[in-house]
């Protein structure tokens, strides 16, 4: 395993530092700064306010829990089950709305961890660090997202719980990673942001009958997330190859564990929803655990971060089994990785 340092050249290609002469290294640093400046500038010219840019009180934005537009379609693992289709219409709509509201609640709890971790990361940056300004833009944008998500949850009429207590306790360790192990922290960031972004993009693409409030919140989120995802990838491409042996090994083992947890939280109903609507265990098995389509959807949701991990040598033959165990790896014959 190589521990040699590397640098991203302007083309985005990674090369070992000892291959670079001083002028190439300066060019790579200049390109990195320029990319961060461009992202920061975008945050100034294209940003949203949770209340000025969403017309919460417009009549068409009102949330009616019986609205058929909340119902899950046949592409959804639970929506495709005979049990779901046999429920009365108001129950089908309420399950769909509760799922969307839980998605937003977990999303804003994830963003809380993200903002605190970013502030930990920025706290130790030296004067003049190009990351400082960008990271503060991202914290501000995430705060606006969390305002939108919480407002949606409040208007859903459900007292959505979100993360379990043990997950809230574990999240404090993730916040600390922003200071102690930023490379693992930014992989955690991608583990949350990539599946959220994937689910929202899929929804905006395929459903023409999305509720206008859900559509507006999702459009705003997807637009700003593109910058956040770019920064996390840029940071990882620049810094993971520079890690020493011990940290690289930790990254290789902990990344599939984190991604497995995150994708499951985002892709299946919370225990609160299961209890409230009395979803039987065999229906959950049919929809999620024993459903190849759901596995493929989970694998697809993490495809971008998985490919980045392959590129950065974070996946090894020794840790591949972990990726497979959490359904993060395409099954044989399921298409290209
Ligand atoms: Fe966000
Ligand atoms: Fe984000």
What residues are paired with 15 via a beta bridge? 7
**165-207 residue pLDDT tens:** 998 999 999 999 999 999 999 999 998 898 888 888 988 887 6
Q: How confident is the model at residue 23 (pLDDT cuts 50, 70, 90)?
A: confident
How many H-runs (helices) and E-runs (strands) does the chain carry? 13, 2
What residues are paired with 7 via a beta bridge? 15
Is it the case that residue 11 has pLDDT exceeding 90? Answer: no
| Distance in Å, CA 164 to ligand 1 centroid | 20
331 domain-assigned: no
| Distance in Å, CA 179 to ligand 1 centroid | 21
336 domain-assigned: no
The closest alpha carbon to 150, from 92, 217, 207, belongs to 217
Q: What does the pLDDT read at residue 336?
A: 40
Q: What does the pLDDT read at residue 29?
A: 85
Question: Cα separation of 61 and 54, whole Å?
Answer: 9
| Distance in Å, CA 191 to ligand 1 centroid | 13
Q: What does the pLDDT read at residue 15?
A: 52
181 domain-assigned: yes
332 domain-assigned: no
Instruction: Provide the percentage of residues in the chain whose pLDDT is more than 70.
Output: 92
> Number of folded domains in the chain?
1
| Distance in Å, CA 141 to ligand 1 centroid | 7
CB-neighbour burial class of residue 259 (10 A; exposed 0-12, middle 13-18, buried 19+): buried
* Confidence (pTM): 0.88
1 domain-assigned: no
The closest alpha carbon to 93, from 127, 68, 73, 114, belongs to 68
CATH number at residue 182: 1.10.620.20
Q: How confident is the model at residue 4 (pLDDT cuts 50, 70, 90)?
A: very low
333 domain-assigned: no
| Distance in Å, CA 280 to ligand 2 centroid | 34
Contact assessment for residue 218 and residue 204, using Cβ atoms and an 8 Å cutoff: yes
| Distance in Å, CA 229 to ligand 2 centroid | 7
Q: What mean pLDDT comes out for the span 308-317? A: 95
Q: What does the pLDDT read at residue 233?
A: 95
Look over the chain and give the mean of its residue pLDDT values, rounded to a whole number: 90
148 domain-assigned: yes
Question: Cα separation of 289 and 326, whole Å?
Answer: 11
Q: What does the pLDDT read at residue 17?
A: 54
Q: What does the pLDDT read at residue 246?
A: 96
Residue 170, helix vs strand vs coil: helix
Count, residues in the chain: 337
| Distance in Å, CA 107 to ligand 2 centroid | 10
Instruction: Return the half-sphere exposure (C-beta side, CA atoms, 13 A cut-off) of residue 194.
Output: 29
Question: Cα separation of 227 and 232, whole Å?
Answer: 9
| Distance in Å, CA 109 to ligand 1 centroid | 10
| Distance in Å, CA 188 to ligand 2 centroid | 12
334 domain-assigned: no
The closest alpha carbon to 119, from 44, 176, 181, belongs to 176
Q: What does the pLDDT read at residue 21?
A: 67
Contact assessment for residue 231 and residue 118, using Cβ atoms and an 8 Å cutoff: no
| Surrounding residues of ion ligand 2, Cβ less than 5 A | 225, 228
Owning domain of residue 77: 6-324
Contact assessment for residue 95 and residue 84, using Cβ atoms and an 8 Å cutoff: yes
Distance of CA 45 to the CA centre of its chain: 24
Q: How confident is the model at residue 56 (pLDDT cuts 50, 70, 90)?
A: very high
Q: How confident is the model at residue 127 (pLDDT cuts 50, 70, 90)?
A: very high
């Amino acid at each position: 395993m190589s521990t040699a340092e590397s640098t991203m050249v302007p083309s985005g290609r990674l090369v070992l530092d000892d291959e670079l002469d001083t002028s190439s290294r300066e060019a790579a640093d200049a390109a990195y700064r320029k990319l961060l400046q461009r992202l920061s500038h975008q945050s100034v010219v294209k940003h949203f306010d949770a209340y000025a840019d969403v017309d919460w009180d417009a009549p068409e934005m009102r949330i009616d829990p019986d609205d058929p537009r909340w119902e899950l379609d046949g592409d959804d693992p639970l929506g495709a089950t005979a049990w779901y289709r046999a429920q009365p219409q108001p129950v089908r709509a309420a399950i769909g709305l509760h799922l969307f509201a839980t998605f937003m609640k977990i999303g804003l709890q994830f963003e809380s961890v993200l903002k605190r971790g970013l502030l930990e990361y920025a706290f130790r940056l030296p004067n003049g660090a190009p990351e400082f300004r960008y990271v503060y833009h991202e914290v501000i944008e995430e705060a606006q997202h969390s305002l939108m998500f919480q407002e949606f949850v409040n208007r859903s009429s459900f007292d959505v719980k979100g993360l379990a207590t043990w997950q809230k306790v574990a999240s404090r360790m993730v916040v600390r990673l922003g200071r102690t192990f930023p490379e693992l922290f930014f992989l955690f960031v991608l583990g949350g942001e990539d599946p959220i972004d994937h689910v929202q993009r899929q929804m905006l693409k395929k459903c023409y009958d999305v509720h206008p409030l859900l559509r507006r919140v999702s459009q705003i989120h997807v637009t700003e997330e593109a910058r956040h995802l770019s920064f996390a990838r840029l940071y990882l491409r620049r810094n993971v190859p520079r890690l020493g042996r011990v940290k690289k090994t930790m990254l290789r083992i902990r990344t599939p564990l984190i991604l497995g947890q995150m994708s499951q939280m985002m892709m299946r109903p919370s225990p609160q929803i299961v209890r409230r609507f009395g979803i039987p265990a065999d229906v959950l098995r049919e929809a999620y655990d024993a459903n190849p389509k759901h596995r493929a959807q989970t694998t697809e949701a993490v495809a971008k971060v998985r490919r980045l991990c392959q590129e950065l040598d974070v996946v090894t033959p020794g840790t591949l089994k972990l990726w497979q165990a959490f359904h993060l790896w395409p099954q044989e014959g399921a298409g290209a990785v």
